[in-house]
Structure formats: structure tokens, C-alpha cells
Structure 1
Amino acid sequence: MSIKDLNVNWKPDFGTIFLWPAMDKYGKIAVMVNNCWGDLPKALLSNPHSISLLDPFMEHIFEGLDMYSQYSYKKHGETILDLYSGLKYREYKNRKEIEKQVFEESKRENVISDEGLPAQKGLFVYYAVESCTHGEDFVVGYKGKTKMGDYFRFLIPTVYASIENFIKELRPAIAVSDTVDFTKDRLFDNDKISEYFPRMYS
């Protein structure tokens, strides 16, 4: 499955991970990683033009060989670990070990990783709860209940990006919220993702 398979009838399923950009009510930007099970906003799925821009947008922020590379930017901030996957980091002894790994990854200059997006691009990063079966993964640091597909705030930037950092041709790829605040909202119910982000940037 690829970006070309996304449409209004698409449903989350095992096999393919999709990344999509989002903007909160204050204009801050996040990358949402669906980890197979996270839903995508209906506003995005019903917009073929926005879907077609997902790959170029991600290629741009990860600094691949894209046509907009001359508009690339750096924020020179830091990456802060917030919540994290108990499944993904099950081999680590404690939070400090994970924070060290996140810090080291965020400073890599030759290749930007997810950990580098907050420090270098000023982007929040949310991961969806993953696993092969319900309950296999859990969100460390969150006191409430979670389920597969719920998006939790994984990484936080210290210097924020805004819509102005992105060339206008790529902006329609961004799902927009009038209620969400990335600096405060740590978890998004997967069943309500289209309510959180009801429209695309225009």
C-alpha cells in the first residue's frame, strides 16, 4: 500500500505507516506518524491534491532530494522527550537511557530522523499506539487509558516552526485544527481525529 491507495474509503490496517502534517490553532506544526493503526482526517482522505503532496512534504522536511530543497530551513533548537512507546523502548532500562538516545539522534546532521524533526525543524512529533494485538503497546508517562491508533505526543521542539516556514505549494498537505494546542494536548483519541483536524490548509 502507498500514498496512491489513500482515499475517503481508506481504513487503518497493518502493513504501511503514513506520515501526515498537522497545524494547531496557534499555527504550530506537527508530524503525525500513524504506525499503521492511526486514522487520517477525512478532510485529507477526501482531497486528492492534499494526498499527492504528502510525499513531497515529508521529503522536504527530512531534507531529501526534493524540488523545494532551496527553501529548506533550520531551527537549531532541542528535542524534548515527552511520552513514549513501552513496546518500542522495551529494551531500555529507564527514561534517562531513552532521553540519551533521543538527544544523540536529534543531533545527527547527515540524515534527519524523527528525533531530529523537533531540534532541526521545530516540529512536534506524535506517534500512534502500535502493536499486533490490543494491549501489547502502552504509552509510558500517560495516566489515562489508550488504545491502538491513539496519537500521543512523543517529541517536543524548543523552537517552534510555523506555516511561514513552508513554501505555499506544500501547505495544502497540512491538516488544520481550530481547537488543538500542541503545547498542551498530549493525546488524541483516534476515533475523533477528523474532529480534531476538520479541514486542510488553504
Structure 2
Amino acid sequence: MTNEKLNPNWVPQGADCFTWIAMDCSGKLAVMSNNGFGDLPESLLARNDSEELLNDFSDFLFEESKKYPSNLQKNGLVNLHFYSSWIYRAKNGKNEVLLDILNDWRSKGNLANANLSINKGMFVFEALDHGNIPGEFPVGYSRKCENGDYYKHLSPTILACIEDIPLPLREIVVKSDSLDFSRVDLIASGDIRKLFE
């Protein structure tokens, strides 16, 4: 990615996907995948090094970083909350989806999304992608949701904290003084810039 993509005038249009890291009011951490259509916090857009740091953070999480080798192994479990109606359209219910997610983790290890909760101790939120997948919705969520809204996909049983993150990467973690990731099911894309700083 080039450093010109994220800037104060950026708006989500589906062309580029960004993964960012958030911290809630009690210090719990979450991996937020915008899937092209979820909005991003203004603090990320204001930096001229956001993409470099986000890429470094992603490499750290997936244990592909030479700069920030990861020994973060929480050895917990993963909880499945909501899941994409499109991605898992061939699965028959939540138990089958969870089994598929765990099999993916057993196959891919540190490269699987489930590892973000199992060993990195983080929540995983996914934004709805109506641009490429019209009508996609988070299965199990009964309220209204719109393109770009972030739904809670996975959660850990053993939590990470900011001290688990290498010091240079902590500055790219955006914070919310009001959200509690354990209590929120969906974060509206239109509220991202109000809720995170």
C-alpha cells in the first residue's frame, strides 16, 4: 500500500481494505476489518504513517514480522458471535460455522483469523461489504444494519492488554472511552469517528 491512500479526505468506497486495532473503555483490544466499506477513525486518517504502522501491526499479529517478533500466545478459546450470511452460506447453523473456523485454525495456525482470539486475545469485528456482496448480513443479529457497519464476529476467553503490544505499535491503537467490546454486538460505520479517537 502507498501512503497516499489514507488521508483526512479519505472515505470508504470499497477499493481498499484496511485492518485497524481498537481498544475499548476497559482496555480490551479488537481487530477491526473494514472490508472496504467500514469507516475509519479520524486519528488514523490524520497520520502520514498510518498505513506503514497498520501493516507492521498486521505482520506482528500474524507472526510474519522480523521487526516485531511475536511471542503472544494466550492459549485460550474462541467464541463465535455473528457470521457472514454470504461467506458461510453453505453451512447449516452456528455450530457448523464454528467447526469450520476451528478447522481453518488447525490448518493455518497463526495465519487464521481465529488465532487472533485464541492466541492474541483480541476481539474480531468485521464490516459488512454490500458493495461486493449485496444483501450480506450478520447471521444472528436481529436489528437493522447497513453497509460498512462492524459486527462482532469472534471474541477471546483470555484477553490481551496494551502491554502485550510492542511499544512502537501502541501509538496506532485507537481508543474508545464509551464502548465495551464484551457488551456491544455492532458498531455503526457512521459512528466510528465519534466513538474512537
> Given the two structures, how large is their TM-score scaled by the length of structure 1?
0.91
Match of 2:26 in 1: 26
Amino acid at match of 2:149: D
* Secondary structure at 2:194 match in 1: helix
User: Structure 1 CA distance, aligned partners of 2:103 and 2:115?
Assistant: 9
What CA deviation, in whole Å up to 9, does each residue of 1:143-166 have, x standing for no partner? 110000000000010000000101
- Structure 1 residues 141 and 67 mapped into 2: Cα distance closer, same or farther (>3 Å)? same
User: Structure 2 CA distance, aligned partners of 1:125 and 1:179?
Assistant: 18
Deviation, 1:4, is 4.2
Match of 1:182 in 2: 181
Match of 1:140 in 2: 139
Gapped regions of structure 2 (runs ≥ 5): none
Match of 1:121 in 2: 120
In the alignment of these two chains, the number of paired residues is: 197
Is 1:9 aligned to 2:13, yes or no? no
> Given the two structures, how large is their TM-score scaled by the length of structure 2?
0.93
The answer to whether the 8 A contact 1:75-1:122 is kept is: yes
User: Structure 1 CA distance, aligned partners of 2:3 and 2:155?
Assistant: 26
Counting only pairs closer than 5 Å after superposition, residues 62-141 of structure 1 correspond to structure 2 as: 62-69=62-69, 71-108=70-107, 110-132=109-131, 135-141=134-140
Gapped regions of structure 1 (runs ≥ 5): none
Deviation, 1:90, is 1.0
The answer to whether the 8 A contact 1:18-1:34 is kept is: yes
Is 1:164 aligned to 2:187, yes or no? no
User: Structure 2 CA distance, aligned partners of 1:110 and 1:181?
Assistant: 28
The answer to whether the 8 A contact 1:24-1:181 is kept is: yes
User: Structure 2 CA distance, aligned partners of 1:10 and 1:77?
Assistant: 37
The answer to whether the 8 A contact 2:3-2:48 is kept is: no
Q: Percent identity?
A: 35
User: Structure 2 CA distance, aligned partners of 1:107 and 1:182?
Assistant: 26
Runs in 1 of length 4+ with deviation above 4 angstroms?
Answer: 1-4
Amino acid at match of 1:117: L
Deviation, 1:190, is 0.5
The answer to whether the 8 A contact 2:6-2:50 is kept is: no
Match of 2:61 in 1: 61
Amino acid at match of 2:136: D
User: Structure 2 CA distance, aligned partners of 1:3 and 1:101?
Assistant: 36
Deviation, 1:134, is 8.1
